[in-house]
A = this chain, B = another copy of it.
Amino acid sequence: MGEDRGMTVTVLRLGHRPQRDKRLSTHLLLAARAFGATNAFYAGTKDIRMEEGISRIVEEWGGDFKVKYAESWRNVVKNWEGEIVHLTMYGLPVQEVASKIRENNEPKLVVVGGSKVPRDMYDLADWNVSVTTQPHSEVSALAIFLHMLFDGEELSRSFKGARLRINPSGHGKDVDVFSKD
């Protein structure tokens, strides 16, 4: 499927607050999985219920996407062996840099902020990348970035070991349900 075969992406979500961010972080992590990331870290406050929610989805829909809590996001970043991409509305336009970032197969760490991103993140990143220069959402920014990084191939990915699989349909719902054992 082209040049990005073998390139793995890990997402790092900064500053999670269980009360306020539970649904947004869940959507973000599900978008990470759906658009081809292989796993994710989140920093901020540990949130077992969110982790369990993601695990249940993976159980039903397949693949082996994993989420881990990171006590120190700086350690994840500083120990990363590969390239670091920080999504920020202040960065370089995704449409100008996505294909360059795709040029090598080094594992990518894609860092997605919460509301306040510490200043040093901008320096720790190999790439600061913006998805439009407008305010929107870390969920849409991540999805568009991964879509452009994987050049659309992620849209037709299949997930191994799924219990549920949708058959695309023009009008209605068509779902296969498989037994898991």
Residues of A within 8 A of B (CB): 20, 23-24, 27-28, 30-31, 33-35, 57, 61, 89-95, 122-123, 125, 127-128, 130-137, 139-140, 142-144, 147, 152, 154-157, 159, 165-166, 168-175
Main secondary structure of the interface of A (DSSP, over half): mixed
Contact B152 A27 (CB under 8 A): no
Give, as a whole number of angstroms, the nearest-CB distance from A66 to chain B: 16
Nearest first, the 6 closest Cβ-Cβ pairs linking A and B are A27-B137, A140-B143, A133-B166, A34-B134, A34-B136, A139-B139
Contact A171 B123 (CB under 8 A): yes
Q: Using CB atoms, name the residue of chain B closest to A21.
A: B23
